[in-house]
Structure formats: C-alpha cells, structure tokens
Structure 1
Amino acid sequence: MSDEKNPWEWSEAEWRSKVDRVRAGRSYRPASWPGGARCAVALSFDVDHETNELRDGGKSIGAMSRGQYGNRQGIPRIMSLLGRHDIKASFYVPAVVAQLYPDETRCFADNGHEVGIHGWIHERNSILPADVERDLQMRSADCLEKIAGVRPVGIRTPSWDFSHVTLEITRDMGLIYDSSLMADIDCHALLLDGEDTGVVELPVEWIRDDAVYFNINRFSALRPYTPPEAVLDIFRREFDAAHAEGGIFQLTMHPHVIGYRSRMWILEVLIDHIRDRGGAWFATHADIVRHARTASQ
C-alpha cells in the first residue's frame, strides 16, 4: 500500500490518486446576486464551546471554562449584534454543544439563522476509522434536527479536518454543501475521484478566521496575538476585494474568540463598512450556495 511507503517512493498513479480524491470542479460565480447586489456576505460562527477541550480528553477545566464563555457572553453579544443589523448568519454546532445548550441551538433556528453540522465532539476526521466518521456525522445531523427542529443541509468539518471519506459521507447524506476547504474563493462543485458529487463548496480560509489571530495556548507556547485593529484591516480588505470582484466575502468566527468586549467592535465596524459600501447581500451559507448554483447553470 502507498501509505506504507515514503511519499517519494510512490508511483505516479499513487500520488495522483491522493491529489484527485477530492478536487474543486466548475466554479459557481453568478452573474448577479439577489436584489442586484454587487457581492454576497456570508458570516458564520463555529460554536465550539467546551468541545475543543473535550475532544482532547476534557482534562483542563480552565480550557472548558473558556469554552463556556462562548455560551455565557459570546453568543448573547453576537445575537444582539445580528439582531440590531437584521443579518442572518450560519452557526455550525457540534452535537455535544447542542445537547449541552439546547435552548441556544434552538434560538439560532428560531431567529432565522442556519444551523449546520460541525461534528459530534469536534473530533478530528483524519484520524477516525471511516465507519466511525460516517456514524458520527449522521448522528450529528439527527441530533441537530431533533434539537433545532430543522434538518441541516450543510457541514463544516471540525477544525476543517477532511478525511478521504468525508466528501463521500456528505454526498451520501444528501447535504447540499460543505464549507471546510480552501481551493477557491467562489462556490464550486466538489469532485470525488473525478466525478461531480452534487455537493457545492463554499470555501473558507484561515486569513478570514478570527481564531488564528487571537488563540493563545500557554502550554504549547502558542501566543499569536494580533491587535484587533490589524484584524479589522485584514477582514475589511478581504471584503473590499470581494466587492470589487463581485464575489463572496466569507468570514469564520468563534463565540469564545470574537465575543470579547475588546473584539466585538471589529464585527460592528466591519458591518458598518459593508453597509456604507452598498450592494452587499447578507445571507446564510445555504442561501448563497443555492443562489450561486442555480444562477450559474
């Protein structure tokens, strides 16, 4: 088997099979957005809460308390901001979080936001046996449907970790989109071994993610703190480019990261900037995917 060899010992067929397993297919950049908007704005929140630590054994009470901050402070601040601006967003919720905070998860759906799959306990798909990954993804969808009252139509894998069977599972479940990969900036088809799966990708990127700028882990000497003003500048430049190109501005945030008093203003100022520019359609990831694919046929 190729995995038993060093990569430089693989045959061309072996390394090509790895590259070709999951690939970006045709682009779905529509000629126009609803209401004549210039671009689409997709705000999203990965509601990890305690599962970042639970996934690794739940040994650190301190780490779990930081996750609980996401529920106690982060989500109320986020929901208040979205309500004031009448913006619908996408919330990706691990099934364990939905069970810990069912009222919170129901609140997302009750307020017209999207609830998407984000794993069972924020597990790492690339180290799971294929049958376990399939079981967890299907149970996660069932759990979210039971609690939120709406069946999820999209997935963002935990930590954007994508195994060789993730897309196959997503296709078999009939989900319409994934938002975990980084091959493009526009919606596009996802190919599995060269065949169109019918699943659309709405791409993410680490530079449009709050965690990479603010996360601190003192035990691993990871302290990549970026001043909030610099983060705003990066996000604003990403939006301005999307607006100029007529594409999508997609942003990934976490309640336990963005939801601090010294950081929430970033999102407030960014929304004001987007509204001042004009021509932006704020929508859930699911609605953007549906429009992009239909309008690009």
Structure 2
Amino acid sequence: MNWKPEIEAAAARIKGHVVKTPVMQTDALWERPIELKLEQLQHTGSFKARGAFNTLTALEVPDGGIVAASGGNHGAAVAFAAHRLGHRARIFVPEIAGPSKIAMIERTGADLTVVPGEYADALDLAKRYEEEQGAMQVHAYDAPHTVAGQGTLLREWEAQGLEADTVLIAVGGGGLIAGAMAWAQGARKIVAVEPMSCNALAKALDQGAPVDVPVSGVAANALGARRIGSICFDLAKAQGIEVALVPDGAILEAQKALWQSHRLLVEPAGACALAAVQWGAYVPEPGERVAVLLCGGNIAPDPLA
C-alpha cells in the first residue's frame, strides 16, 4: 500500500477536527535531552481521535450507525467524533477500561456496553452488533483508515521540527506505531515499546506471525491487545523494528517522573515509551537523539472527577 498519500489525505480530512498537540524538549527526565510530543492533550486524552475522525470523514456512515470496541481510549475517541459529526454510536468496552474512561464515553451521549473480560471480549460483541444492526465497525488499530489517521501524528511532529534520530512509541494493537512506520518509511528509526505483561508485537515477531498473548498489568486498559494487528506486524517485519520490553514498575516510575518534573499527567500507557530509556530497555548509541511520544492521559481514577 502507498501510505504517504493516504496519510496526507487523512491530514487534510481531520484538519479542524483534532488538536495540533505541542512538543517540548527536556533534560530533566534522563541523562540526555529528550524531545516529547504531548499527545495526551489531544481530544479525549489520546491520539485515537486522529484515526476516528479520519475514518468517519472518509467513509459513508450507514443507517445502522457506528460501532467500536475499545479498551477505553478508542471508544472515547469514536464516541466524540461521532457526536461532533452527528452520527449514532454504540461502544463496547471491557470492565478493565476503568471508571474514568467509561465516564468519558458516557459524557459523549454514545450508547455504551461494559463487557466482562478484556478488549478481545468487547470486540467479539462489537462484531456481532455490526452484523445484526448493519453498523459500520471502526476498528481500534487494524484498519487502513485508522492507521492513516494515526500516521498524521508523526507527519505533524516532523512539521514541528522533530530532530530526533529515534522515536520511541508504545504499542498495544499497533495502530499508532503502524501509522508512524507508514509515514517514516524507514527514514527515521522507530522503536516499539511494550509492557512485559502485554507484548503482542514482540511475541508475533518472535513467532513469525501474530499470535494470542496473555494480557495483564498497569497499562492493560490501553495497551492490552491480545493479538497484534496484521498491518502493524507486516510493517514491523518489513522494517525490522526493534521492540523494547519494560516492567510495570518502570512504567509507573516514568509516569511519576513526568508529573514530578513537568506536571505532565499521563496514564501508564502514556509513560510506557519513556520507561524504555529510563529503565535501560532501549540503550541509544552515543550522540543518538531520542524522542518519546506521550500517547495518552486518561489516568484512573480521574483526579478531578
């Protein structure tokens, strides 16, 4: 697939619907300066609004409306985009999404179903709803329009003057990093960062194909995909993407460091990529310039709820 034109088209479609999130440099988080992109300041607190708006503005929504399964952030983004564009939405989320993400979806006015289990269980019910109601499924990560929408993030960052040689990105189902790989086309090094407790991409690359993995840990409600998306896997395999695995403790320490150093409030998934350099799961070469994407800010419980 020729991704560059798709991402350019996505950027044109979502302009005016999403926030151009700020970037910053800091020497307070690690032994070298780091570039950060503050995507936790995006609508609904994560990058997911990019893919949601791209999908809903590129495709014709049927009378059956929209359906999405989500660990929380994608559901909130789809519900928000549907509300802004005047579409009916049904969102399925697992119980582990947590009260703050569930409350955010409810505030959009979308029909919400909370499902026992994890993301894969919510996806099963969303697929059944799609078939029964004739709704349009907005996949959280493994769909071209979703990936192209997420690809606008790295495009935007480069236009803001990104200087880093290497960009670290947290991975769940793989939509965000797939978009980044699709835009970069190997011109900039991208490192995938996963929790040890939900490592679908690392396991897929090790096994030679996407496989089911157990899901648990502090970031499971955002990075807890049971199986990596095929788009992400194909791009990662073709580009030889390196995966760094981090423990829950390192993620929580990175989350704390962002708050203590810069009053940046991110959820565990949003701190996951930073944990890779702080904990030493990824060790840059001397002189290698590093950038970290803060992908989400929906912590639980909501401190101001």
TM over 0.5: no
TM-score (norm 2): 0.27
TM-score (norm 1): 0.28
Higher relative contact order (CA 8 A, sep 6+): 1
Based on CA coordinates, which of the two structures has the bigger radius of gyration?
A: 1
